[in-house]
C-alpha cells in the first residue's frame, strides 16, 4: 500500500485549486514566456502557461507554496498541456520533456518544504486539444484529428518526464473523451512495465453541460464502467460545472465506484466576461454537502478557485470522515 493510499483510509485529502487562475494574477508579457531560452522562437508564446515551468519557475513555485500553505495535501504539476500534441500549437514539441520534468521538480521542491503532514505531487495530464472518438469536421464524421497511437506516444513522453521529476501520483484529468484517457492509461502501463515501478493513478472526467454526459456521450456511470477494469487510486469529476451542478453526478460515482472518489469543481459557472464569481465562503458551503453525504475521498478546486477557496474547503474537510471504499481493488 502506498503512502497516499494509507492517508485515504483515514482522511479526506485536499487537492489544490486552479493554476491558470493564479497565473492570471501576474502581469505577464511575451518576454516572460520566452525567457532566455526562447527569445528567438518564431511563434508567439504568451498564454502557454506550462512553459513558465522553464521561463518563470519562481511564479509556479510560489503558487505551489500558496496552495500548500492553504492546506492542500496534493498539489498538481503545471503540466496540463504538456504533451507534444498540445504544444504543437506553439511549435514547442521539442520542449515537452523539460516542461514536464521541470514542472514535476518545482512541485516536488515545494511539497518537500512542508513537513507537518504528508504532501503529495500529482502529475497533471490533460486531455490534449484533440479527441480520438469524435470528428472535428461535421461534414466528415469518420475523420479523426488524432489516432490512439499518436496519443499513447505523446502521453508516454509526458509520463516519463513527470516520473523523472519525482511525482507521487498521475492525475489524468478533465477527460472529455474516454478513448483519450485509455491512451494515457495504456502509455502509463508501458512506462510502469519498463521501469518496474507503478504509480497510483487518479482519473477525473468532465461533464460538459447539464445533459450529464461527457463530450463523447458517456454518463458518469458509463464512464466508470469503461474504466473499472483498471487499478485506479480514484475516479472523479472536475471542471465544466460548479459544486451544485456536479453533485448529482458525484452521487452516482460514489454509489457505484470501487475506488476512491474525487471532485474538483469550478468556482461556480463563469459570468458574461468568463470570470468566476463564487467566493471561497460560498463554494465551501456548497462543497460541505459532499462531506455530509459522504460522497468524496479527495476534494479540490478547478477553474476560478484560489488558495482562499482551498483553505476554506480544507478547514471543513478536516471535520469529516472520508467516504468508505467498500469494494476497493487498490487497497
CATH number at residue 277: 3.20.20.330
- Spatial separation of the C-alpha atoms in residues 91 and 99, rounded to whole Å: 13
C-alpha–C-alpha distance, residues 83 and 158, integer Å: 6
Q: Is residue 331 part of a domain?
A: no
Q: How confident is the model at residue 144 (pLDDT cuts 50, 70, 90)?
A: confident
Please enumerate in sequence order all residues whose Cβ is within 8 A of that of 239, keeping only pairs 6 or more positions apart, or say none: 173, 174, 206, 264, 265, 266, 302, 303
The domain containing residue 192 runs over which residues? 3-134+141-317
Quick one: average pLDDT of 37-64?
A: 98
Distance CA 244, CA 230 (A): 29
pLDDT tens for each residue of 264-301 = 999 999 898 889 999 999 999 999 999 999 999 999 99
DSSP-based three-state secondary structure for 237? strand
List CB contacts of 70: < 8 A, sequence separation 6 or more: 16, 307, 308, 310, 311, 314
Per-residue model confidence as pLDDT tens digits over 232-265: 999 999 998 899 999 999 999 999 999 999 999 9
Residue 71 CA neighbour count, 13 Å, CB half: 19
15 lies in a domain? yes
**Per-residue model confidence (pLDDT) at position 327:** 53
Is 66 among the domain residues? yes
Give phi and psi for 13, each to the nearest 5: -90, 140
Cα–Cα distance measured from residue 299 to residue 23, given in angstroms and rounded to the nearest whole number: 21
**CB neighbours of residue 318 within 10 Å:** 12
Q: Is 90 inside any structural domain? A: yes
Residue 328 lies in a domain: no
In whole angstroms, give the CA distance from residue 103 to residue 158.
11
CB count within 10 Å of CB 44 equals 11
In a domain, 323, yes or no: no
Distance CA 331, CA 329 (A): 6
pTM: 0.95
Give a yes or no: residue 195 inside a domain.
yes
322 part of a folded domain: no
DSSP 245: H
Domain count, the chain: 1
C-alpha cell at 59: 511564479
Query: Are 183 and 148 a contacting pair, CB within 8 Å?
Result: yes
φ, ψ of residue 133 in degrees (nearest 5): -105, -15
Amino acid at each position: 500500500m502506498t503512502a497516499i493510499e494509507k492517508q485515504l483510509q483515514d482522511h479526506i485529502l485536499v487537492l489544490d485549486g486552479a493554476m491558470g487562475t493564479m497565473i492570471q494574477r501576474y502581469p505577464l508579457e511575451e518576454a516572460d514566456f520566452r525567457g532566455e531560452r526562447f527569445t528567438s522562437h518564431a511563434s508567439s508564446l504568451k498564454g502557454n502557461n506550462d512553459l513558465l515551468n522553464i521561463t518563470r519557475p519562481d511564479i509556479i513555485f510560489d503558487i505551489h507554496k500558496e496552495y500548500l500553505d492553504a492546506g492542500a495535501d496534493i498539489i498538481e504539476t503545471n503540466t496540463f498541456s504538456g504533451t507534444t500534441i498540445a504544444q504543437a500549437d506553439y511549435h514547442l514539441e521539442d520542449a515537452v520533456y523539460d516542461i514536464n520534468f521541470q514542472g514535476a521538480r518545482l512541485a516536488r521542491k515545494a511539497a518537500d518544504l512542508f513537513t507537518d503532514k504528508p504532501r503529495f505531487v500529482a502529475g497533471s495530464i490533460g486531455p490534449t486539444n484533440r479527441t480520438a472518438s469524435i470528428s472535428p469536421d461535421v461534414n466528415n464524421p469518420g475523420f479523426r484529428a488524432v489516432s490512439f497511437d499518436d496519443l499513447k506516444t505523446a502521453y508516454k513522453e509526458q509520463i516519463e518526464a513527470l516520473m523523472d521529476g519525482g511525482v507521487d501520483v498521475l492525475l489524468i484529468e478533465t477527460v472529455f473523451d474516454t478513448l483519450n484517457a485509455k491512451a494515457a492509461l495504456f502509455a502509463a502501463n508501458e512506462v510502469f512495465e519498463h521501469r518496474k515501478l507503478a504509480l497510483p493513478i487518479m482519473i477525473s472526467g468532465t461533464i460538459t453541460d447539464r445533459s450529464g454526459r461527457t463530450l463523447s456521450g458517456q454518463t458518469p456511470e458509463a464512464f466508470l464502467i469503461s474504466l473499472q477494469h483498471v487499478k485506479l487510486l480514484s475516479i472523479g469529476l472536475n471542471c465544466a460545472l460548479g459544486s451544485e451542478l456536479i453533485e448529482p453526478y458525484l452521487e452516482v460515482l460514489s454509489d457505484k465506484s470501487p475506488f476512491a472518489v474525487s471532485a474538483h469543481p469550478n468556482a461556480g459557472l463563469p459570468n458574461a466576461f468568463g470570470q468566476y464569481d463564487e467566493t471561497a465562503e460560498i463554494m465551501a458551503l456548497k462543497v460541505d454537502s459532499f462531506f455530509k453525504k459522504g460522497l468524496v475521498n479527495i476534494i479540490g478546486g478547478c477553474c476560478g478557485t484560489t488558495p482562499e477557496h482551498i483553505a476554506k474547503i480544507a478547514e471543513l474537510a478536516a471535520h469529516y470522515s472520508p467516504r468508505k471504499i467498500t469494494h476497493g481493488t487498490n487497497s
